[in-house]
Structure 1
Amino acid sequence: MAQKKGGGSAKVADVADIQARDPLQAVLLADSFTQRFRPITLERPKVLLPLVNVPMIKYTLLWLESVGVEEVFVFCCAHAKQVTSYLENNGSFGSPSFKVTAIESNDSISAGDALRTIFERGVIKGDFVLISGDTVSNMSLTQALQEHKERRKKDPLAVMTMVIRQSKPSPITNQTRLGNDELVLVIDPESSQLLYYEEKAQHSRGVVSIDRTFLADRPAICIYNDKQDCFIDICSPEVLSLFTDNFDYQQLRRDFVKGLLMDEILGYKIFTHEIHSSYAARVDNFRSYDTIGKDILQRWTYPLLPDVLSNGNGLQVKVNRQGVYKASDVIQSRSAHIGPLSLVGEGTVIGDNSMIWNSVIGRGCTIGCNVSIENCYIWDSVTIQDKCKLRHAVVCDGVVLKTGAVLEPGVILSFKVIIGEGFVVPAYSKISLMTQPTKQDSDEELEYADSSTGAIDSPSSTGMENDSNGVFRSKSLDSPCWDASEVGVSGAGYLWLVGEGAHEEEWRQSVAPVPADKLKEFLRIHEDKKEVSSPTANVNPTSGESRHDSGSVDDDEDEKDDDAYFEREVEETFRRAVSDVPGVKLDNVILEVNALRLAYNMTVSDCAGALFHTVLKLGVESLSGTSRGLFLNAKEEIVKWKGLLKNYLQSEDDEVEVLLKFEEICLESLREYSPIFCSILQVLYDEEIVTEDAILKWASEKQGADESDKIFLKQCEGYIQTQKTAMFQTVTVS
């Protein structure tokens, strides 16, 4: 009887615990506290900037709702009225239990100030998710949250769990595909405790200095330079009080995380949770804006996709097999072409012979005739007149490009800028109707706020005045004071000058690819470093595990991840070349692929295989809208790019590796090619991409394989016999 009574009491206690459970809360920082999106963010907060035609904050809020967060506190400082207005008008996210509350502050100038304000309000009741409003993710939070809570039960000093993921950096430029500096982490492999966090760890010398005390009571530590900080944190309430007790804590990573890791007295601990198959990334600069935008179009962020998010909004964006997203009311000339990985918003008109590749076009845009748009982000209500050419640019709402205007790579045009007829805007230029502040903030982390007032620089110092909506605009919009050398005749806007020493930062974090001359310079420096390095040099490993005894963990899994990331990077580089019409510069493509080869420690045959895979993808994609068959499409692409492929086939063994890769492609990713394997093989031979010796060597290696591995060998038996006969006749005649 006693046991039954005790069991009943336990059930009652469980019910009481559930009823008393605090709702899962989140703190969303709507201010980035950086200047990287100026001059755009002088007029609109970063979280409301469109990412593939959807405000960034919407991706974050939808994810928080999907993972079970019930209450979100959105902290906003600069442009608070715009943020709160958006939340009021777009606050319904489907679930009645999902509550979003804005917390405004006019005097916070850092993330530390924001969290101190949250603490003072007393709204956080338990563990909470800390996230920036420019984060895109589809990960499940269940496991990370459970790990955090279990650790907290055992150790009250475990105050934070950081989400990380694989992100292979480049040893050439010391940055990730998101444009961030290379990150070095030291993690205890047994407990996942974070021991060391450094964004810039003397990479120029190739040395990472790790304290030996990390190994004092641990059998192993893992040192990584191939992880990405997702900026998704699960925090205990103590995190808020720690910020309140330490006013030196201003930035989350630079001050708080590094401060806790170095503080041996308090003993607080930070842990990591690594995701593998899920997606999570933060829009930190223009390069990551472009990268994440491409990831969305390639559907890595499912279900946060343009065609899914448009459901119920009357937008009716649909996607076809070429990866072209288009609203149902788009008016497109029959001679206009929209290439793969592009999106065109509703109400947009596209004129004759205009070409769009790898670009996002907003709502209500007017694109004239003979316009070329490549790898651009065109926002709403933009007018692009005839014969304009745009490459790797961001064009904000209301911009007008007059006939023949050209935007070179890396250009940023802020709201309502006008570019005159035939004017060429130089690479990496930033133009705005806002004059550039003459007084710059001393702290690079301040995005909008002056350190003394918490407001944008005074109108007297910037030439701006505040309108009724709280937006600063130029006082002289109605007077013809624009410099024609900056925006062309009849143009409108001010050219922002790049600060001294900031030129490298501009192209490293730009929407444009790394310039070819910079890649050459980096490659030369990298090769020089490799030549002078010694096997006995005092250089610690930057990715892997350091043990008292030798060994490795998950090597096979890491290699698979590296292969996947490498192929994806090569494909993106190649597609940029495909869209660069007219006149693809093969030397630049080869340069970029070589940089990737060094970054991922791959072979030339790996490069050839990745490029060949992408060429075959183009053959499949071009099936839509054509009466030609797959073979003819694939043959055309192979002939077009044979020079690039042959550049990476430097030996007979390399050619055999590509044939093995072709088999893998036919069995796994592009099964459409399985029935025509032999026909494509003959094209490769006819175009002198692979030799008959390589074909016969491939066939010979297959002879001893299992029957299931001889599918394509059997398909090619007749062709191979013909090759053998031809070779025998050649030898006999000789």
Structure 2
Amino acid sequence: MTSRRRSRTGASNGDLEFLILISIRDGPKGCRKRQWFWPGRRGGLCNAPLLDWTFESLALAGVKEIYVVCRSHAEKVKAAIANSKWSRPNTGIKITPIVTAKEAFSPGDAMRDIYTHGIITSDFVLVQGDLVSNVRIDEVVRLHKERRRTNRDIIMTMVVKESGVMHRTRPRGETAVFVLDSKTQECLHYEPVKGYPPQSHAHLPREILSKHAELEIRNDLIDCGIDICSVEVPSLFQDNFDYQDIRSDFVQGVLTSDLLMKNIHCHVITDGYAARVKDTKSYASVSKDILSRWTFPLVPDDNHPGCATTSYDHSRGNRYLSIGVPPHLARASYVGPMTLLGPGSSIASDARVSGSVLGANCVLEQGAVVSDSYLWDGVRVEEGAVIEGSVLGKNVTVLRGSRVERGCLIADDVIIGPDAHLRRLTRVSKKRDQQADEEEDEEEDSDYEDAEAAQTDELRACLGPQSNGILWPDNTPDSDEDEDEANERINQRLLRLGDDASDLELSDGGSITSSESESSDDSEDEFDGNILGLSLSHSATSLMHDGTGVSVSLLADAQAEREFRAEVSASLARAFSEGHSVDNAAVELKTLRMASNVPLRRVREAVVAGIVDLIPIVSDSPARQRAEIAKVMDRWGELINLIGGVDAVETVSVLQEHCSQSSHLGLFGQILAALYQGDIVDEDDIRAWHAMPESRGSGEGAAAENMRRCWAVGRKMIEQLNEQSDSDEEEGSDGDDESE
């Protein structure tokens, strides 16, 4: 523990303490979720402990001192810290583990425990132990300190990230409405939005409108789990024992309190990457983002947290192969794009793996197929077995002829098969040994007893005759559950890998909704005139108060859009004609956006349109046409992602919309191929766009018909990608004779 004198000295020198909260909140019951994804576990994320990814993220910001606060798995967390490369001498970072009381069941309890022991004596940065980020937190800290110099009542700055509607790290079950002062970015109102039941309105206190001339109401922000906090924050948790959650309790409590008189700000990042691995769905999403290199420089072949023991070679299609102990690729094996193979892994003849992460010493026997899955160290998939979109723990064995459908979780050391068939979203644990794990608490024992009691001959048959596992029952609602418990159970579905929740009507369905404000006298009466009901939108809106009344001005207003598009067109024209660098062009566009306060999608639309229109149409020479497209995309394609809020699916959607209404309709397929070749979009993005109902076009007229034509072109491209996978397999058969 750092002494008070040392902490004050550090603070005076400009160094902040970093507090990482991990393993504080109990996860949903079933399959030992806490043991699956606790951040210190080795092999957790792209073959490195998740906690090490967080350390890497903080190291980019020049962190000097880190406290790691945990409750469960304390000894394992300490061991993970000791094994981390950042615990070695001369790294310049001091990492201190802190174990909270067993009674600390929430982040609020942990903060109270920290306050009681006097651990934090200066301003600090609070991050969650499941963070993966390349954001320069030091810059956010600098801005926070500048605000504090003029207003000591600012106690927190929350870091949030702009997100496109379809971005895979945007949580469907846990979003929020942020109401910000447009000039100062002070957070005036925070309202969590669950995916279910569907919620169409947020409720804004009227007093906010009387005090602030211009507001932003935003539902397009991802909470990064990064907070710059003043030293008063732990004491506020101590004074308010009902504060359990950082956001829904503490932030809401501070913003609605008439007594505290404290302020909270937001820092909205448009560059860089930040996401949390909170559940199986975000685990898969962040893994894909790492393989897609959105997290650069935190990528497997450079700054990989496991680089002390393992390094990787990066090749076309975002394929990563271990260098120190290279994988064994047999004749006629196939390794598809977006795949990482750990040291000592082995792919037998006629085995296929794509879109997946394989840990150390994983074995795929002849004819085995693994797609969109995450296999930890020592997994063996025997002959003819198929794994789709699932997570398999260490030393799992899938015996011959077995099939694991999408969304399954199989815990460490489980054997299934032969000829087992695990249906979607199945969870399997190993049968308990006679001697229970010392760290298991009574609740976990009870969970296991319930699961064991629920086993039937039919369930055992699903696992195969040689299985040593138990199949956890579905989380079906109990008859005596109240409505809140039933809704929470449904929201948990939205966080599960492999569950598309297609049978549910959700608040955030992943498509752009109308931005029209829907406020009625009835809704005002319902809240005694103290709250104004506002419709939720996926993009920011602006509230203007002119002193005589309130008018809601949507940024999608046609005139404002025309003016913005004209400014962007002029900016792009200057960049194109004067040969500006892509970075400088991006900075100018961001400045325009800040001045105009338009949604990020509008910027993307303008940039895509400007780049596409720059391509000359060559009608007499297909080869020259391809060359012109390549020339423009090689020079300017990167600009699409540099404007912030990377969303490759939205990029394809915007390209389709523009081409369907322009003279470049016939070039849609070639431009999309150029984006793919330039790693601006990947295969998964194209497939996700093609699966969207909006991409098929609706209604009548030339534009709708052209949308359908673009969709048909996309279908052909997907077919070609599938054929390319087959041809790559044949090529491997002809050219890899020496591998066996």
Structure 2 CA distance, aligned partners of 1:273 and 1:545?
17
Partner SS, residue 317 of structure 2: coil
Asked if 1:166 is matched to 2:162, the reply is yes
Q: TM-score, normalised by structure 1?
A: 0.69
Matches within 5 A, 1:229-268: 229-268=223-262
Aligned to 2:200: 206
Structure number, greater radius of gyration: 1
Aligned to 1:335: 332
* 1:456 paired residue among 433, 437, 441: 441
Structure 2 CA distance, aligned partners of 1:186 and 1:645?
29
Give 1:536 shift.
8.3
* 1:76 paired residue among 35, 55, 70: 70
Asked if 1:423 is matched to 2:408, the reply is no
Structure 2 CA distance, aligned partners of 1:153 and 1:483?
63
Give 1:504 shift.
3.7
1:169 and 1:225 in contact (8 A); partners too = no
Range moving further from structure 2, 552-561 or 300-309: 552-561
* 1:508 paired residue among 474, 480, 494: 494
Q: CA 1:214–1:71 in 2, change beyond 3 Å: closer, same or farther?
A: same
2:185 and 2:265 in contact (8 A); partners too = yes
Q: CA-to-partner distance for each residue in 1:400-443, whole Å, 9 max, x for gaps?
A: 1000111111111111111111111010111112679xxxxxxx
Aligned to 1:365: 362
Give 1:510 shift.
2.1
Partner SS, residue 130 of structure 1: strand
Structure 1 CA distance, aligned partners of 2:231 and 2:260?
16
Aligned to 1:325: 320
Asked if 1:555 is matched to 2:591, the reply is no
1:175 and 1:182 in contact (8 A); partners too = no
Q: CA 1:389–1:67 in 2, change beyond 3 Å: closer, same or farther?
A: same
Structure 2 CA distance, aligned partners of 1:23 and 1:130?
14
Asked if 1:64 is matched to 2:58, the reply is yes
Partner SS, residue 432 of structure 1: strand
Q: CA 1:539–1:271 in 2, change beyond 3 Å: closer, same or farther?
A: closer
Q: CA 1:208–1:535 in 2, change beyond 3 Å: closer, same or farther?
A: closer
Partner SS, residue 204 of structure 1: coil
Q: CA-to-partner distance for each residue in 1:247-266, whole Å, 9 max, x for gaps?
A: 11111112111111111211
Give 1:206 shift.
1.5
Q: CA 1:539–1:153 in 2, change beyond 3 Å: closer, same or farther?
A: closer
Structure 2 CA distance, aligned partners of 1:455 and 1:334?
45
Asked if 1:276 is matched to 2:261, the reply is no
Structure 2 CA distance, aligned partners of 1:211 and 1:123?
37
Unpaired runs of at least 5, structure 2:
1-7, 478-485, 522-532, 547-552, 556-595, 610-646, 680-685, 721-740
Aligned to 2:99: 104
Asked if 1:487 is matched to 2:447, the reply is no
Structure 2 CA distance, aligned partners of 1:21 and 1:423?
61
Which letter does structure 1 place at the counterpart of 2:465? V
1:418 and 1:493 in contact (8 A); partners too = yes
Q: CA 1:541–1:606 in 2, change beyond 3 Å: closer, same or farther?
A: farther
2:200 and 2:507 in contact (8 A); partners too = no
1:401 and 1:420 in contact (8 A); partners too = yes
Which letter does structure 1 place at the counterpart of 2:250? F
Give 1:488 shift.
1.5
Range moving further from structure 2, 125-134 or 84-93: 84-93
Give 1:66 shift.
2.1
Which letter does structure 1 place at the counterpart of 2:372? N
Aligned to 2:40: 48
Aligned to 2:23: 31
1:39 and 1:434 in contact (8 A); partners too = no
* 2:142 paired residue among 134, 146, 149: 146
Which letter does structure 2 place at the counterpart of 1:303? P
Give 1:381 shift.
0.5
Structure 2 CA distance, aligned partners of 1:405 and 1:308?
36
Give 1:68 shift.
1.9
Give 1:198 shift.
1.4
Which letter does structure 2 place at the counterpart of 1:273? H
Asked if 1:412 is matched to 2:405, the reply is no
Partner SS, residue 15 of structure 2: coil
Give 1:506 shift.
5.2
Which letter does structure 1 place at the counterpart of 2:72? A
Give 1:498 shift.
2.6
Give 1:143 shift.
2.6
Give 1:168 shift.
3.3
Which letter does structure 1 place at the counterpart of 2:20? L
2:18 and 2:127 in contact (8 A); partners too = yes
Which letter does structure 1 place at the counterpart of 2:370? I
Instruction: Name the % identity.
Output: 25
Structure 1 CA distance, aligned partners of 2:384 and 2:403?
9
Asked if 1:382 is matched to 2:379, the reply is yes
Q: CA 1:182–1:506 in 2, change beyond 3 Å: closer, same or farther?
A: closer
Structure scoring higher RCO (CA < 8 A, sep ≥ 6) equals 2
* 2:542 paired residue among 545, 558, 566: 545
1:185 and 1:196 in contact (8 A); partners too = yes
Asked if 1:432 is matched to 2:413, the reply is no
Structure 1 CA distance, aligned partners of 2:110 and 2:675?
47
Matches within 5 A, 1:99-138: 99-105=94-100, 106-138=102-134
Q: CA 1:197–1:459 in 2, change beyond 3 Å: closer, same or farther?
A: closer
Give 1:346 shift.
0.4
Structure 1 CA distance, aligned partners of 2:705 and 2:448?
63
Structure 2 CA distance, aligned partners of 1:344 and 1:354?
14
Give 1:144 shift.
1.3
Structure 2 CA distance, aligned partners of 1:606 and 1:203?
36
Structure 2 CA distance, aligned partners of 1:24 and 1:534?
45
Q: CA 1:503–1:646 in 2, change beyond 3 Å: closer, same or farther?
A: closer
Q: CA 1:203–1:604 in 2, change beyond 3 Å: closer, same or farther?
A: farther
Partner SS, residue 204 of structure 2: coil
Q: CA-to-partner distance for each residue in 1:73-132, whole Å, 9 max, x for gaps?
A: 101111101000111222535754310000112332111121122222223231111011
Q: CA-to-partner distance for each residue in 1:112-169, whole Å, 9 max, x for gaps?
A: 1211222222232311110111000101123311121122122111000000111234
Give 1:182 shift.
2.7
Structure 2 CA distance, aligned partners of 1:319 and 1:155?
48
Structure 1 CA distance, aligned partners of 2:112 and 2:694?
57
Which letter does structure 1 place at the counterpart of 2:94? K
Structure 2 CA distance, aligned partners of 1:475 and 1:87?
35
Q: CA 1:35–1:563 in 2, change beyond 3 Å: closer, same or farther?
A: farther
Matches within 5 A, 1:650-661: none
Give 1:232 shift.
0.2
Structure 2 CA distance, aligned partners of 1:248 and 1:335?
61
Structure 1 CA distance, aligned partners of 2:365 and 2:675?
30
Aligned to 1:197: 190
Aligned to 1:8: none
Aligned length: 574
Q: CA 1:545–1:290 in 2, change beyond 3 Å: closer, same or farther?
A: same
Partner SS, residue 217 of structure 2: strand
2:11 and 2:122 in contact (8 A); partners too = no
2:156 and 2:227 in contact (8 A); partners too = yes
Structure 1 CA distance, aligned partners of 2:274 and 2:603?
20
Structure 2 CA distance, aligned partners of 1:620 and 1:596?
16
Give 1:368 shift.
0.6
Give 1:222 shift.
0.9
Matches within 5 A, 1:457-476: 457=442, 461-462=446-447
Structure 2 CA distance, aligned partners of 1:526 and 1:76?
34
Give 1:289 shift.
0.8
Which letter does structure 2 place at the counterpart of 1:344? L
Asked if 1:301 is matched to 2:277, the reply is no
Matches within 5 A, 1:585-604: 603=657
Q: CA-to-partner distance for each residue in 1:488-544, whole Å, 9 max, x for gaps?
A: 1111211112331477445422222626x538x7799999x98x9989897546331
Which letter does structure 1 place at the counterpart of 2:276? R
Note the aligned Cα RMSD (angstroms): 4.6
Give 1:275 shift.
0.6
Which letter does structure 1 place at the counterpart of 2:419? G
Aligned to 2:281: 287
